[in-house]
Chain A
Amino acid sequence: MKAVIVLFALPALILPVACLGYILWQGLPALNWQVFSGQGMSGFAQEHGLYGQVAGSLLLMLGATVIAAPVALALALFTRLYLKQRLQTYVTTLLHLLQGIPPIVYGLCGLILFVHLLHWGISLLAGQVILAVIILPVLVLNSLHALERIPGEQTEAACSLGLNNGQLIRRVWLPAAWPAMLTGLLLGMARALSETAPILFTATVFSGVVWPDSLFSPVTSLQTHIFYLAQEGANSQVVGVAWGAAVILIALILLFSAGALWLRRVQYRHRRMSG
């Protein structure tokens, strides 16, 4: 039995690592300053370098975070402050349901509402709002979880001292919950960087943009750039650029998710020592 289980487990333990190794093996040699800056490069999709795409991805992600984070925090605080236990479970159920809707569906809704009905066109802002909606449930659920872990005694003590809600949030809840909330935020940012399908037809174009002029102009992004390059598989130079872009994208994502993992680990250790 043990042998059978290990046998089944082997592909699951080896294949993903092999994938990551393969990406690095293909992508790292293709990366150099020229590919990034485009200096002295010519040929399909290479003359502008990749920095425009990196900037576009980061802009989309930052915008989504700036929009989603305050709303998520407000919704979590609202739920904990004003709703009864039963309604609180309804809120989490609703958030789980929202999480169950595939991202591309949000992309479709955004396409109708922002791109067509509001006449924003294919724009940075449309992509940011769509990504914000996609990461919102994760952020709220995480914040709720963090707030739920605050011992009831602390809240009661604060209330018995006569603190009002604003003081309760600022002095008791946020100081206790911010590390967990930040963890969730970092995970959400990593998620926003990796989503491709919903921004493909609402926010990004293939080329012609290096730096967007305004919130209403289209951008390029690493994710969608990789997709466009993938369709040009016959050109070996393009293949190299695509793997290079993939490595940059993974590095960016890891920056955020590793930060989140590290924070979570610190909190875990902290809790274990104090509890």
Chain B
Amino acid sequence: MLLKFSLYACALLVLVSALSVPVFLLHASMPFWQAAGISSIWGREWYPYEHLYGLLPAITGTLWSIFIALLIAIPCGICAAITASELLPRHLAEKARIGMEVLAGIPSIVYGLIGLWVLLPFLQAVFDMLTGHSLLAAGLMLSLMILPTIMLMSMDALQQVTREQREAGQSLGLDWSTQLTRVLMPQAWPGMRSGILLALGRALGETMAVMLVVGSLDRLPQPFYNILQPAQTLTSRIGREIGEAAFGSIHFSALMAAGLMLAMMGLTISLLGKR
């Protein structure tokens, strides 16, 4: 009886707190939506001291950095998974997996150090930039951070293709590349896809590393494909400004609105992953 009661109580507690997260965000960002209106989502200017709260630069920055990260991490991660699980001998593949699992555990702030003190000087030298702070830097950092996720999930997916399937392919006389594209990839794709979506969610919410390298400048890329200039993402804006925004002010509420947008994007991505 006591057991049943306490289990029910715990479950109720979790359910209530889960549901209260979006309610909280909505409630806390309400003053902002009322003051600035929904149109501030595509407003281009963000100057909290002049009460201009356009979210578009941060949203664009988030999308750009994720796009760059995926553009690099998907092909590299999947190819690495294929190499590890199909080409390397078994004991080397296991070592590669352990290495990747270790790397998946390195905290984002340490990647941030690498970005700040290795990547930025490198970009500065190569592209002749002022400091190296840029969307490109953020995208490169993110790609490094989500690589282990994509590779590990893809490797799992490839190794779950049954031996019968492989043998059937071989007995048909398929060569290696046909076997890969016609037998292995179609079978493993659902697993790879959920790995990619997981990585996408991680890239979306990544704060520290991005915050250190993106430059935190609220400006739309000019022209829109210019990824070599400092920019801002939703996460870096929250991280940079939440400390200085007074509780209860419109600025604070605007940052909550940025958090709400992040949460909605994250939820959309995990809903996509459920299918």
Contact = CB atoms under 8 A, between A and B. Distances in A.
Interface stretch (B34-42, B52-60, B156-164, B260-268): B260-268
B207 interface: yes
Interface string B57-101: 000000000000000000111011011100100000000101111
A1 B107 contact: no
A166 B4 CA distance: 9
Contacts of B17: 133
B83 A100 contact: no
A74 B151 CA distance: 33
B130 interface: no
B14 interface: yes
Contact of B114 (A19, A99, A227): A19
Interface string A166-188: 10010000000000000000000
A183 B164 CA distance: 32
A273 interface: no
Contact of A200 (B10, B83, B239, B255): B239
B243 A201 contact: yes
Contacts of A230: 109, 112-113, 116, 212
Interface string A20-61: 101100000000000000000000000000000000000000
B267 A19 contact: no
A124 to B, nearest CB: 18
Interface string B181-217: 0000000000000000000010011111001100000
22 contacts: A5-B87, A6-B79, A6-B87, A9-B83, A9-B84, A11-B76, A16-B148, A71-B14, A94-B15, A98-B21, A102-B266, A103-B205, A105-B21, A108-B28, A109-B25, A195-B107, A196-B207, A197-B108, A223-B208, A227-B109, A233-B117, A261-B101
The 7 A-B pairs at the shortest CB distance, nearest first, are namely A102-B205, A100-B270, A194-B107, A8-B79, A197-B207, A12-B80, A74-B10
Interface of B: 3-4, 6-8, 10-11, 13-15, 17-18, 20-21, 24-25, 28, 75-77, 79-80, 82-84, 87, 96, 98-103, 105-114, 116-118, 144, 147-148, 151, 176-177, 180, 201, 204-208, 211-212, 235, 238-239, 242-243, 247, 255-256, 259, 262-263, 266-267, 269-271, 273-274
